[in-house]
A and B are shown apart, each in its own frame.
Chain A
């Protein structure tokens, strides 16, 4: 396959970036999208240019490192697929493809396609855990968890923290990411004691990081490679209102 790539190049956080065009003549439809960038980078290195910097690691859709907007879609056009698992068989020979970094105030660009997502870590630091130090936990069967709750918790916990939801959102909101953690822990008995405090602190941190508010456009869930459902945001709002209106369990 022959592809034209238009890629965001930015030498560092303070530089002004620009779109630069490249040609790859020997792409193969069985290549993954990141392998296409590998091929391009090998050429760039040999011709004395700097290769395109991009985050990637597991290349099997679970670490959440890869983060690029392909033809206007975070992770590209294929549903429920990270960029590393997107294959070129979904593109046409001769096509021009644009590749940009995540665009969001809370995710500043570090270089080329690499952005700083440490804001997500700080949201988790604000309460995205159950406070159980390592030690003598009760037997795992001591507290049965109804399967529907366990399954919903798992569905929410499947979030890979990639940030596609933020990149897709016109408001740059991190509500899907935040709602996923709130739902995961709120759905389990182990998460109850800290449920109210957790949601209040995590929402405060989310806002302090510069993420926007949610206006229910739903673009986040459409872009999510793990298909985290939109109802985690309803859950987030529900829990937040319960915690701040004095109706919370541990308020």
Chain B
């Protein structure tokens, strides 16, 4: 259905302040209208998702005095997928005295995103980063420390300073537990109503404003309406459209997609991050991919044999027959080039038949040098848990045999379009964390996702949502309003339809097939022909899904097949929009590599003149071509240049 699109009016971020960039956030904070504490108690905010962004937002809004209703599909808010982030969180603290500053973090992030992010947003992120670390330490997050008692730092890809704070390879877990504990404290205080094992299936829009959600209780199957003064989506990314990704199995696009269908623009959907250091696929049974933290690239060296088809075990390949291809191609950054560049380089050596492992889709990540230099114990102290994880999954010991790694889908920079206030194009619906598109441009730097999630939830949204609530006098919504009934009916009809098809194919088989199409044609390298083919294949697959899917069981009980079916149905629509976005963006930038647009040495070639914009897509109805709205990006502080890490 999406073989075509139309072009609509440009989209403008009306909330963004002007003036010197370092004053803009302060200016906005002073400019917002405040809600008086007595009124906050009467206002209700729904927060969907309990990861770093949603958990921190729900806790902070409740502390501020609002009534909060929080939703997650997991059995506990503590299990949201932020928990799996390994490497760390960036902050411009300059504790190392290595020349770091807010300005440098801002610069690195805009450049790392290949000049497809908004300067104002990124600068605010860099400013707020400093407060996040303070807040988390005060909560008791056990960051790694040095013997003097101060916090330790490490360096990460795309950066030449050490600004990453970490807690072994479990930084996401520790930060999430900090937010979770703050949230549980508010639940205990009666200020947050927690709905675990609930999934948002529809947005309620009344008089053009987001006023609630329809959710399914995943245990009883009951369809519930929850009404509020504002809705916050913190429902994460959509990497699972590829079936295999580093996302948790339950991660999905449904909350975002239902909002998109109700009028929220979806920005840059094709910007998906393929992470260079994941454990390679071992067989057709594979259900997910496991990331090995990027921090390993600090000390591990990436190589493949120089010769094609060299099947000797790695230890038997002498030094001069190895190609440390990142160090060779990018001497300035070496193994610490940004993720998009490292992934593509690995793909290229594997395409040249120099990949390793049974499938030939892998490269070595070798720790022999660092083990020799600092000893096994020092390496174990830094990476012990990651090495153990690798051994559990592969049965190989990385202390003695180099790890095998290959790129995998990890994060989505695209997401629902939001303005500087993090408000979507549906008034009253705000989007935070990975679910929005805002800060990472076409490529996210390592250790920046945790920073953005917590910046949005702890420090940005609580300010900006107040302005919306103070500026709009909202009457309570009548639960019997036609818009509410219609939203419930959409949910009921869809569930009934999914259960009634009773066809011949499982939901997972469709999901796998969609994943193959997306990986082959909308993965690390994209071409016009491939994307056109993918558009046809997805449309056909979606038709087949609605004809032949088999969803067992009933709607009135815990039914995991039904949950998956709804999510895959939405992925089947999103996949098309991603391919269309990738097709229309006839340039290479960051993670989006169009084979037609490359420099002589095969690096991504941007086209700022024609594509220096955010592509924000409007849903125009089933079977109708979507409408493209462009938001022009202006760079006054970091001037777009060909990214070079050489």
Listed in ascending order, the chain A residues whose CB lies under 8 Å from chain B are: 11-12, 28, 30-32, 34-35, 38-39, 42, 44-46, 48-51, 53, 55-65, 78, 80-81, 85-87, 89, 110-111, 114, 116-118, 120-121, 124-126, 128-141, 143-147, 150-151, 153-154, 157-158, 160-161, 184-185, 188, 190-191
Contact = CB atoms under 8 A, between A and B. Distances in A.
Interface string B390-406: 00110100000000000
B37 interface: no
A135 B291 CA distance: 33
Nearest to B81: A58
B93 interface: yes
B84 interface: yes
A137 B135 contact: yes
B282 A30 contact: yes
Given A129-B184, A157-B177, A42 B150 contact: no
B187 interface: yes
Interface stretch (B156-164, B168-176, B616-624): B168-176
A38 B508 contact: yes
A12 B509 CA distance: 27
Contacts of B288: 59-60
A157 B287 contact: no
Contacts of B504: 46
Contact of A34 (B95, B173, B283, B287): B287
Interface string B111-154: 00000000000000000000101111111101111111111000
A28 B140 contact: no
A61 B389 contact: yes
Given A35-B286, A154-B174, A158-B170, 4 more contacts: A64-B76, A89-B395, A137-B131, A184-B142
Interface in B74-109: 74-79, 81, 83-84, 93, 95
Contacts of B333: none
A146 to B, nearest CB: 5
A58 B145 CA distance: 28
B314 interface: no
Contact of B184 (A34, A60, A128, A184): A128
A34 B177 CA distance: 25
Contacts of A150: 142-145, 149
11 contacts: A49-B552, A57-B79, A59-B287, A59-B288, A60-B84, A132-B138, A134-B459, A139-B134, A147-B146, A151-B145, A153-B140
B249 A57 contact: yes
A121 B184 CA distance: 7
Contacts of B286: 35
B143 to A, nearest CB: 7
Given A147-B147, A154-B142, A63 B81 contact: yes
B137 A65 contact: no
B167 A154 contact: yes
Given A45-B506, A132-B139, A62 B83 contact: yes
A140 B287 contact: no
Given A117-B76, A128-B184, A190-B137, A134 B285 contact: no
Contacts of B223: none
Most-contacted residue by chain B among A38, A137, A144 (CB, 10 A):
A137
A154 B559 CA distance: 37
B75 A116 contact: yes
Most-contacted residue by chain B among A49, A120, A153 (CB, 10 A):
A153
A180 to B, nearest CB: 11
A161 B561 CA distance: 25
Interface stretch (B55-63, B334-342, B631-639): B55-63
A46 B548 CA distance: 12
Q: Which 5 A-B pairs have the closest CB atoms?
A: A144-B149, A129-B181, A137-B138, A125-B188, A154-B142
B133 A60 contact: no
Nearest to A80: B388
Contact of B550 (A45, A121, A130): A45
B283 A12 contact: no
